[in-house]
Each structure stands twice: as structure tokens, then as C-alpha cells.
């Protein structure tokens, strides 16, 4: 995406144009947590992204240099997706969303997510470092 593709010069607006849809952020979440994923792995997520939408988002994220796509070492028909450093730099945004959601949407949040949020509160810097490795 080049500068002329943005609707405004506002940093919030520009960022939202790049990664503001829920699927891009959920794909980023999965890659931060699991480090690498295949197309099939993404389709198995609880949120149930359609294959057409997933294909679109992965292409968009690759074009934005948020992810890389490499052939699987043992199955050349399968691709492995990983975050680039630019994609990993979204970790603090994801972490803050986790913390906000845990605090303000508590009735809706799973017990596993609540436990992760507790860990984040006690060692945010350490967890961020691990997520960005």
C-alpha cells in the first residue's frame, strides 16, 4: 500500500486501513500465540473465518509485509505463515486489547483468557518479549 492509497494522513485512520478489520487482528493474534500457522490451522479457529475471506486477508497481510508465506518443509502443497518483525510489532496493540476486553467484557471472556490476562498484568513486558520472539 502506497501513501496515495490512504484516505487521510491521520495515523489512526491509516492504521485502520492497513489492519483494522477483525480478521487481520485475529490472524495476527494466532500468529503471535502459535508463531506459525497453515491455512487449515486458521480455518479451524473458533471464529470460523470463511476460506475466501481468509485467502483475501492473508494476501493483504503479505502485501503489507506483516506476514511471510513459505512452503511447508515436508508438504510442498502447504504454506506456513509467520509474522514479520513489522507484524510482531502489533503485539502491544493485541495485548492491550486483551487487557481491555478482560476488564470490560468480563462476563463474556473465557476462563483461559482471564488467566492469560492475569499473567499479562503481572508480567506484561516479559510476555510481550516472548510473543515478539
Q: Is the pLDDT of residue 55 over 90?
A: yes
Is residue 61 a contact partner of residue 87, using CB atoms and an 8 Å limit?
yes
The pLDDT score that the predictor gives to residue 13 is: 87
All three cell numbers of 110, joined, read 473465557
From CA 38, how far away is CA 43, in angstroms rounded?
A: 9
* Banded model confidence at residue 77, pLDDT cuts 50, 70, 90: very high
The pLDDT score that the predictor gives to residue 2 is: 47
Q: Give residue limits of the domains in the chain.
A: 1-84, 90-133
The whole model's pTM is what?
0.86
Is residue 13 a contact partner of residue 20, using CB atoms and an 8 Å limit?
no
For 12-31, the pLDDT digits (tens) are 888 888 777 899 999 999 99
All three cell numbers of 93, joined, read 496493540
Q: Is the pLDDT of residue 3 over 60?
A: no
Q: Which residue has the higher pLDDT, 106 or 50?
A: 50
For 80-118, the pLDDT digits (tens) are 999 999 999 999 999 999 999 999 987 888 898 899 999
The pLDDT score that the predictor gives to residue 4 is: 56
Whether domain 1-84 has CATH 1.10.3720.10: the reply is no
Amino acid at each position: 500500500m502506497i501513501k496515495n492509497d490512504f484516505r487521510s494522513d491521520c495515523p489512526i485512520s491509516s492504521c485502520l486501513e492497513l489492519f483494522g478489520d477483525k480478521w487481520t487482528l485475529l490472524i495476527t493474534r494466532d500468529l503471535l500465540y502459535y508463531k506459525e500457522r497453515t491455512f487449515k490451522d486458521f480455518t479451524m479457529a473458533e471464529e470460523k473465518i470463511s476460506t475466501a475471506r481468509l485467502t483475501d486477508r492473508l494476501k493483504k497481510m503479505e502485501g503489507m509485509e506483516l506476514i511471510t508465506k513459505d512452503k511447508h518443509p515436508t508438504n510442498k502443497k502447504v504454506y506456513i505463515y509467520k509474522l514479520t518483525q513489522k507484524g510482531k510489532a502489533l503485539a502491544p496493540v493485541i495485548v492491550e486489547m486483551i487487557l481491555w476486553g478482560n476488564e470490560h467484557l468480563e462476563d463474556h471472556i473465557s476462563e483461559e483468557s482471564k488467566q492469560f490476562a492475569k499473567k499479562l498484568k503481572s508480567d506484561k513486558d516479559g510476555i510481550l518479549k516472548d510473543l515478539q520472539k
